[in-house]
Amino acid sequence: MTMYALIKFVHIVSATVLFGTGLGTAFFMWMSHRTGNIVAIASAARITVRADWLFTAPAVILQPLSGVLLMRLVGYPATSSWLVVAIGLYVLAGACWLPVVALQLRMHDLATRAVRESSELPSQYYRCMRWWFVLGWPAFAAVLAIFWLMVAKPALW
Protein backbone atom coordinates (compact mmCIF):
# COMPACT_ATOMS: atom_id res chain seq x y z
CA MET A 1 0.00 0.00 0.00
CA THR A 2 1.38 3.40 -0.93
CA MET A 3 1.66 6.23 1.58
CA TYR A 4 -1.05 8.10 -0.36
CA ALA A 5 -3.44 5.12 -0.20
CA LEU A 6 -2.78 4.64 3.52
CA ILE A 7 -3.40 8.29 4.37
CA LYS A 8 -6.48 8.43 2.16
CA PHE A 9 -7.78 5.28 3.88
CA VAL A 10 -7.26 6.86 7.31
CA HIS A 11 -8.95 10.06 6.11
CA ILE A 12 -11.99 8.22 4.76
CA VAL A 13 -12.35 5.92 7.77
CA SER A 14 -12.01 8.80 10.23
CA ALA A 15 -14.61 10.81 8.26
CA THR A 16 -16.92 7.81 8.37
CA VAL A 17 -16.39 7.35 12.10
CA LEU A 18 -16.92 11.07 12.70
CA PHE A 19 -20.19 11.18 10.81
CA GLY A 20 -21.45 7.73 11.77
CA THR A 21 -20.75 8.06 15.47
CA GLY A 22 -22.24 11.55 15.49
CA LEU A 23 -25.39 10.44 13.72
CA GLY A 24 -25.71 7.26 15.78
CA THR A 25 -25.24 8.88 19.16
CA ALA A 26 -27.49 11.81 18.23
CA PHE A 27 -30.25 9.35 17.29
CA PHE A 28 -29.67 7.36 20.49
CA MET A 29 -29.71 10.49 22.67
CA TRP A 30 -32.77 11.97 21.00
CA MET A 31 -34.79 8.76 21.12
CA SER A 32 -34.01 8.19 24.80
CA HIS A 33 -34.96 11.80 25.53
CA ARG A 34 -38.30 11.29 23.76
CA THR A 35 -39.15 8.35 26.05
CA GLY A 36 -39.07 10.59 29.11
CA ASN A 37 -37.52 7.67 31.00
CA ILE A 38 -34.91 9.31 33.21
CA VAL A 39 -32.92 6.10 33.70
CA ALA A 40 -32.74 5.61 29.92
CA ILE A 41 -31.79 9.26 29.42
CA ALA A 42 -28.97 9.05 31.98
CA SER A 43 -27.70 5.83 30.41
CA ALA A 44 -27.86 7.19 26.85
CA ALA A 45 -26.06 10.37 27.88
CA ARG A 46 -23.32 8.36 29.61
CA ILE A 47 -22.81 6.13 26.57
CA THR A 48 -22.94 9.09 24.18
CA VAL A 49 -20.25 10.94 26.12
CA ARG A 50 -18.11 7.81 26.15
CA ALA A 51 -18.56 7.30 22.39
CA ASP A 52 -17.56 10.92 21.76
CA TRP A 53 -14.32 10.43 23.68
CA LEU A 54 -13.52 7.00 22.24
CA PHE A 55 -14.52 7.54 18.60
CA THR A 56 -15.44 11.10 17.70
CA ALA A 57 -12.52 12.89 19.39
CA PRO A 58 -9.81 10.76 17.71
CA ALA A 59 -11.58 11.18 14.34
CA VAL A 60 -11.73 14.94 14.88
CA ILE A 61 -7.94 14.92 15.34
CA LEU A 62 -7.20 12.52 12.46
CA GLN A 63 -9.29 14.44 9.93
CA PRO A 64 -7.19 17.60 9.68
CA LEU A 65 -3.92 15.71 10.09
CA SER A 66 -4.66 13.27 7.30
CA GLY A 67 -6.23 16.06 5.24
CA VAL A 68 -3.10 18.21 5.38
CA LEU A 69 -0.94 15.21 4.48
CA LEU A 70 -3.18 14.39 1.52
CA MET A 71 -3.19 18.00 0.40
CA ARG A 72 0.61 18.04 0.41
CA LEU A 73 0.97 14.63 -1.26
CA VAL A 74 -1.47 15.45 -4.05
CA GLY A 75 -0.35 19.06 -4.39
CA TYR A 76 -3.66 20.82 -3.78
CA PRO A 77 -3.03 24.47 -2.95
CA ALA A 78 -4.39 25.47 0.47
CA THR A 79 -6.16 28.32 -1.34
CA SER A 80 -8.32 26.01 -3.51
CA SER A 81 -11.84 27.35 -3.11
CA TRP A 82 -13.43 24.00 -2.29
CA LEU A 83 -10.74 23.33 0.30
CA VAL A 84 -11.10 26.76 1.93
CA VAL A 85 -14.87 26.23 2.21
CA ALA A 86 -14.40 22.65 3.51
CA ILE A 87 -12.01 23.86 6.21
CA GLY A 88 -14.43 26.64 7.17
CA LEU A 89 -17.25 24.13 7.44
CA TYR A 90 -15.04 21.84 9.54
CA VAL A 91 -14.39 24.73 11.92
CA LEU A 92 -18.14 25.44 12.04
CA ALA A 93 -18.89 21.77 12.81
CA GLY A 94 -16.27 21.81 15.56
CA ALA A 95 -17.65 25.06 16.97
CA CYS A 96 -21.01 23.29 17.28
CA TRP A 97 -19.60 19.98 18.51
CA LEU A 98 -17.57 21.34 21.43
CA PRO A 99 -20.58 22.90 23.19
CA VAL A 100 -22.61 19.78 22.36
CA VAL A 101 -20.08 17.66 24.29
CA ALA A 102 -20.33 20.03 27.26
CA LEU A 103 -24.13 19.89 27.04
CA GLN A 104 -24.08 16.08 26.94
CA LEU A 105 -21.92 16.01 30.06
CA ARG A 106 -24.30 18.40 31.80
CA MET A 107 -27.39 16.44 30.71
CA HIS A 108 -25.78 13.24 31.96
CA ASP A 109 -25.06 14.84 35.34
CA LEU A 110 -28.59 16.25 35.62
CA ALA A 111 -30.25 12.97 34.62
CA THR A 112 -28.01 10.91 36.90
CA ARG A 113 -28.80 13.22 39.82
CA ALA A 114 -32.54 12.94 39.07
CA VAL A 115 -32.26 9.13 39.08
CA ARG A 116 -30.33 9.14 42.37
CA GLU A 117 -32.80 11.52 44.01
CA SER A 118 -35.88 9.92 42.41
CA SER A 119 -36.90 13.32 41.12
CA GLU A 120 -37.97 14.81 37.81
CA LEU A 121 -35.54 16.21 35.29
CA PRO A 122 -34.90 19.86 36.07
CA SER A 123 -35.72 22.63 33.62
CA GLN A 124 -31.98 23.08 33.02
CA TYR A 125 -31.91 19.62 31.42
CA TYR A 126 -34.56 20.66 28.90
CA ARG A 127 -32.69 23.92 28.15
CA CYS A 128 -29.52 21.89 27.52
CA MET A 129 -31.44 19.48 25.28
CA ARG A 130 -32.86 22.35 23.19
CA TRP A 131 -29.37 23.78 22.63
CA TRP A 132 -28.00 20.31 21.92
CA PHE A 133 -30.70 19.77 19.29
CA VAL A 134 -30.21 23.20 17.69
CA LEU A 135 -26.41 22.89 17.52
CA GLY A 136 -26.56 19.43 15.98
CA TRP A 137 -28.21 20.57 12.75
CA PRO A 138 -25.54 22.96 11.45
CA ALA A 139 -22.82 20.48 12.47
CA PHE A 140 -24.40 17.65 10.46
CA ALA A 141 -25.18 19.90 7.52
CA ALA A 142 -21.57 21.09 7.53
CA VAL A 143 -20.21 17.54 7.54
CA LEU A 144 -22.50 16.54 4.66
CA ALA A 145 -21.36 19.59 2.70
CA ILE A 146 -17.73 18.68 3.41
CA PHE A 147 -18.32 15.18 2.04
CA TRP A 148 -19.72 16.70 -1.15
CA LEU A 149 -16.80 19.15 -1.44
CA MET A 150 -14.24 16.37 -0.97
CA VAL A 151 -15.86 14.28 -3.70
CA ALA A 152 -16.75 17.01 -6.22
CA LYS A 153 -13.85 19.44 -5.59
CA PRO A 154 -15.74 22.23 -7.39
CA ALA A 155 -14.17 25.55 -8.34
CA LEU A 156 -16.29 27.89 -6.23
CA TRP A 157 -14.54 31.13 -7.22
Q: Residue 81's pLDDT is what?
A: 96
DSSP notation for the chain: --HHHHHHHHHHHHHHHHHHHHHHHHHHHHHHHHHT-HHHHHHHHHHHHHHIIIIIHHHHHHHHHHHHHHHHHHT--TT-HHHHHHHHHHHHHHHHHHHHHHHHHHHHHHHHHHHHTT-PPPHHHHHHHHHHHHHHHHHHHHHHHHHHHHHH-----
Question: What percentage of the chain carries pLDDT values higher than 90?
Answer: 98
Q: What is the pTM assigned to this prediction?
A: 0.91
Per-residue pLDDT of 2-43, as tens digits, reads 999 999 999 999 999 999 999 999 999 999 999 999 999 999
Condensed to tens digits (0 to 9), the pLDDT of residues 116-132 reads 999 999 999 999 999 99
The pLDDT, as a whole number, for residue 133 is 97
